[in-house]
Structure 1
Amino acid sequence: MSLRPTDMIKSLELSGQDLSRPSSLAEEDEDKISLLPESLICHILSFLTTDEAVFTSVLSSTWRYLWKRVPKLELESSDFPNDEACVDFIDKFLNVQSLLEFSLCIDSDGSKNDASLYEFCLGKWIKRKIHYFEVLCHRNTKIPIKLPPCEALGCLSLNDTSSCVLDTPRLEYLSLIDNNFKSLNIISMSDSVEVFIDVDFKLMHHDLSERNIIHNLLSNFSAIGDMTISWTTLKLIHGLRHTNPLPKFRYLTCLHATMSLDASPELLPIVLESCPNLKRLTLVVTCFKHFGNIMRWIRLRRLENFVMDDDPEGVATILSNVLPYCLVCSLEYVTIRSPITDKATTRKLVRYFLGNATSLKNLVLRLSVFYGEKPHNFDRVKQYFDSPRRSHLCHFEVIWD
């Protein structure tokens, strides 16, 4: 069991050791690391966790307080007796160092602790010109995050927070992961920010205020150029497509999305239609039936033994009936990552883009290979996925991962 940071500090203070006195090992072997500039030593310590950095304080009196000057603090509430002790430690740290990176994981360890205690102290950290700020809350108690204006913040990652107010004009990366995210208010944000969205909602369907929740959330990002959407959020988008349509992302040029092999064929056109100027698309196709993958892979090695869907043309029919604007005007690069299965979904997706994207320059299909094996007849596998191309400039390739 590892020592808590507070226990480590206390043990050092109570020990009667003279840390300034070199050990016999130090007398025999010159300590070259300690001769480095303090700023360089702190940079080296920044690659360690906070716990590991604290342990270096036993090396000598020179190292005793160096960990406090490391520009990164990573904490887990489970390392402290209770939330009050954790908050107190965070507050004390504010007085000894201005950090660039702060990460806090509020663990789920029973109802005796109150996660709301962190709300006030987290706001104070942002005022210290933090560049990287991450909060993960694994409690039923959701923490509302209201960040004061922060010119320095470049990376923000929030997990299981109930709401958030952002005034971050220089933000470069934003990650929102939550099972019940209710509201997001962006006062200012750079259009060049990269956004990762993995949210879900436990909606109260009788509550009219929640009918537009996904539209209101995504409308905050209508001017960004790079976005990643999880399969969880895509399912929500599809389920609410009639009452909660997607906003237009007119400036979005790069989209990363994850979808299931069993996803409705209506989903992809819905998403693409909201991105009229999309140039790059990375589509990760997932299969959650792990135990069936090996048998499907065995069947793939002999293509004539493929067991296709009952209506393999159904996917192509529904997809081809709806041609989003980006498909016929702007989309140039598509990457599809897919496991090897006996379903025709991936094949239809490939043919959908090859047959309809008029500006497509390159389509890459990356197939997952199990146990490092590859098919003996590579050309035949590529032929299985290939189809006539709408764009005469399009290059199609299959890569085995």
Structure 2
Amino acid sequence: MVKTSLNTSLSKRKCIKTIGSGKVRLSDSSMVRTSLNTSLSNRKCIKKKGSGKDRLSDSSMVRTSLSTSLSNSKCIQTKGSGKDRLSNSSMVRTSLNTSLSKRKCTKTKGSGEDRLRDYPMVRTSLNTSLHKRKFIKTKVSGKDWLSDLPEYLLCQILSKLPTKDSVRTSVLSPRWRNLWSHVSALDLGFHDFKDDLDKEEFIDSFMKSHKELDFKLKSFKLVYDVNEHFHDEFVWRLNKVVKRGVCELTVLNMVDVDEALVRMPLSLYSCATLVSLTLYCVVFDHPESKSVSLPCVKSMYLEGVKFDGDSVLETLISSCPVLEDLTVITHPDDYLEVVRVRSQSLKSFRLESQLLECDDPDVGFECDDDPDVEIDAPYLEYMSIRDYQLRSFIIHNIGPSAEVNIDVVFDFEYDDPVEITKIHNFLIAISTFHKVTISARTLEVIHSYSEVEPLPPFSNLSRLDASLVESSWKVLPAFLGCCMNLHSLVVELGHLPEIEEIKLSPVPQCVLSSINSLQLKTPSTPSKMKLATYFWKNCTALKKMHLSGR
């Protein structure tokens, strides 16, 4: 549509005659509005062959006002469909005596369509003329946005890097030259320095500058590997770290000589700012006084840590009133008698052992059992005990909906009443759980026990994840027979049992009538569907079944 107003003249306009349809069309075109004595003159079209469409597409819409003239513009004539289009165009706005003159369009070949594609909007004002207009490609600005950030944000970014990489940023610009020294974190590896002396001097210099600037040291990580360990110097430096208000402390000891095990300073027992503690292959001495308090510790990871006294670990845990996440990986040569966890705030507890690594024929000796386990954590939501050779397992209290991952072994003998009692107490402890993930070797112990003594009922168990990757189908049904209220079952199989094997060790009817969700993680073999069909036909309450590969 062409609208003109206020004494507007449209003269000498030539339209396009189409061949075939006999119709002249101006369709799908953008609106050209002219006002206030606007004239459109001498408009001519260019004849083009091809698809038969006359288009000015993806071009700019032209709005002219206040005595604007559009002159000597040329359009494109096409043959074929008989359509003259100005479509999908961007807008060009000109104002205040703007003239668009001698505008020429580009003739395209091949498709029969004449297009001005992807032109941005151009706004011109204040007597601006668009003559022989050229479009300029905008380039991305090369401004250094990172350096414009405030210093405290840059320091936070650098604190996420190892100190070695943080120091390297000093060559970027004068502003970055000393920025790394204001970072409230030290992360040092044993390959970062030529020798031990350089590392010690660097730590001392860094700590001195922080003290002069009255900065807090929020994070300190040290991978400790020295040719010769000096206990007094090491404790002296760690005491300085504690005094600087450290929040995250990590010490990973790589010295593999027992006599040189790093002993932690006693000041660590009363670090009021500590939030996260990670230690590897160090020694905790028995505290000299009863003033042990870690009021802010929420996360504690202790791997291969030796405790100088049976009550040290218990004291350490009970001194953390807000502890939420605890991981203990026991040392095979430690004399710890019991892992006693008493916490009113603990939500996640992981216990692993390095002891089973010692029970290797190539080593030439066998280790004793792992320490006893005693849990009293009423708000515990997740517990994992893996690679553990149990002597005693006592649960006083855990969260009612806690998820438990069990991978334990016993030195089981049929004629040993002591071992049978251990397994009985273990089964009584786990019978209170609602969601259990159990390993193949633990199922083998339960199956062996069931051939000597009856299993206790697991009436609380509603979800079971059973792994049979390194075992056989026959170890599972005996345990399932005690789970009369089981609703969800996940079974991971190393190899698929034959139907004859399942018939010899069938799934108990109480389980078949209660399961409503089943997931089978099995190898992709032709007999996979036979197992699925067995469950589908026999599980009367089954609502959902999921098959997946391993």
> What residue number does 1:70 align with?
183
Query: For residues 259-278 of structure 1, what are the structure 2 equivalents within 5 Å?
Result: 259=387, 263-264=409-410, 273=428, 278=433
- The structure whose residues are more often strand, as a share, is 2
Partner amino acid for 2:200? Answer: V
CA distance in 1, matches of 2:543, 2:384: 20
Local SS of the residue matching 2:354? helix
Q: Where do 5+ consecutive residues of structure 1 fail to align?
A: 1-27, 204-209, 287-311
Deviations 1:306-349 (A, max 9, x none): xxxxxx98751415847578x444x55444567x44x32xx567
Q: 1:154 aligned to 2:275? A: yes
Q: Summarize the Cα distance change of 1:180–1:274 in structure 2 as closer, same or farther, 3 Å threshold.
A: farther
> What residue number does 1:45 align with?
158
Deviations 1:366-390 (A, max 9, x none): 5689xxx95144444668999x99x
Q: 1:232 aligned to 2:359? A: no
Deviations 1:57-82 (A, max 9, x none): 10011111222233432112443355
Deviations 1:128-154 (A, max 9, x none): 333321111122212222314234322
> What residue number does 1:246 align with?
373
Deviations 1:345-371 (A, max 9, x none): xx56754654334555544345689xx
Q: Summarize the Cα distance change of 1:189–1:81 in structure 2 as closer, same or farther, 3 Å threshold.
A: same
Q: 1:125 aligned to 2:125? A: no
Q: State whether residues 144 and 162 of structure 1, in contact with CA within 8 Å, keep that contact through their aligned partners in structure 2.
A: yes
Q: Summarize the Cα distance change of 1:152–1:170 in structure 2 as closer, same or farther, 3 Å threshold.
A: same
Pairwise CA distance, 1:201: 3.5
Q: State whether residues 256 and 282 of structure 1, in contact with CA within 8 Å, keep that contact through their aligned partners in structure 2.
A: no
Q: TM-score, normalised by structure 1?
A: 0.63
CA distance in 2, matches of 1:142, 1:200: 12
Size of the aligned set, in residue pairs, is 323
> What residue number does 2:490 align with?
364
Q: Give % identity.
A: 22
Partner amino acid for 1:37? Answer: P
Partner amino acid for 2:243? Answer: K
Partner amino acid for 1:227? Answer: F
Local SS of the residue matching 1:189? coil
Q: State whether residues 341 and 375 of structure 2, in contact with CA within 8 Å, keep that contact through their aligned partners in structure 1.
A: no
> What residue number does 1:375 align with?
524
CA distance in 1, matches of 2:162, 2:425: 43
> What residue number does 1:36 align with?
149
Partner amino acid for 2:298? Answer: E
RMSD over equivalenced CA pairs, Å: 4.4
> What residue number does 2:84 align with?
none
> What residue number does 1:355 align with?
481
Pairwise CA distance, 1:274: 5.0
> What residue number does 2:222 align with?
104
Q: State whether residues 106 and 115 of structure 1, in contact with CA within 8 Å, keep that contact through their aligned partners in structure 2.
A: no
Query: For residues 114-193 of structure 1, what are the structure 2 equivalents within 5 Å?
Result: 114=230, 117-139=233-255, 140=257, 141-145=260-264, 146=266, 147-163=268-284, 167-178=293-304, 180-183=306-309, 184=312, 185-186=315-316, 188-190=319-321, 192-193=323-324
Pairwise CA distance, 1:188: 1.2
Q: State whether residues 269 and 319 of structure 1, in contact with CA within 8 Å, keep that contact through their aligned partners in structure 2.
A: no
> What residue number does 1:92 align with?
205
- The structure whose residues are more often helix, as a share, is 1
- When Rg is computed on C-alpha atoms for both structures, the one with the higher figure is 2
Q: State whether residues 176 and 196 of structure 1, in contact with CA within 8 Å, keep that contact through their aligned partners in structure 2.
A: yes
Local SS of the residue matching 1:190? coil
Q: TM-score, normalised by structure 2?
A: 0.48
Q: Summarize the Cα distance change of 1:36–1:269 in structure 2 as closer, same or farther, 3 Å threshold.
A: farther
Deviations 1:92-137 (A, max 9, x none): 3234242322211112x53x34355322322332333333211111
Q: Summarize the Cα distance change of 1:254–1:32 in structure 2 as closer, same or farther, 3 Å threshold.
A: closer
Partner amino acid for 1:199? Answer: T
Pairwise CA distance, 1:87: 3.5
Q: Summarize the Cα distance change of 1:374–1:393 in structure 2 as closer, same or farther, 3 Å threshold.
A: closer
Q: Where do 5+ consecutive residues of structure 2 fail to align?
A: 1-140, 359-366, 389-406, 413-421, 496-521
Say which is worse superposed, 179-188 or 38-47, in terms of deviation: 179-188
Q: State whether residues 257 and 284 of structure 1, in contact with CA within 8 Å, keep that contact through their aligned partners in structure 2.
A: no
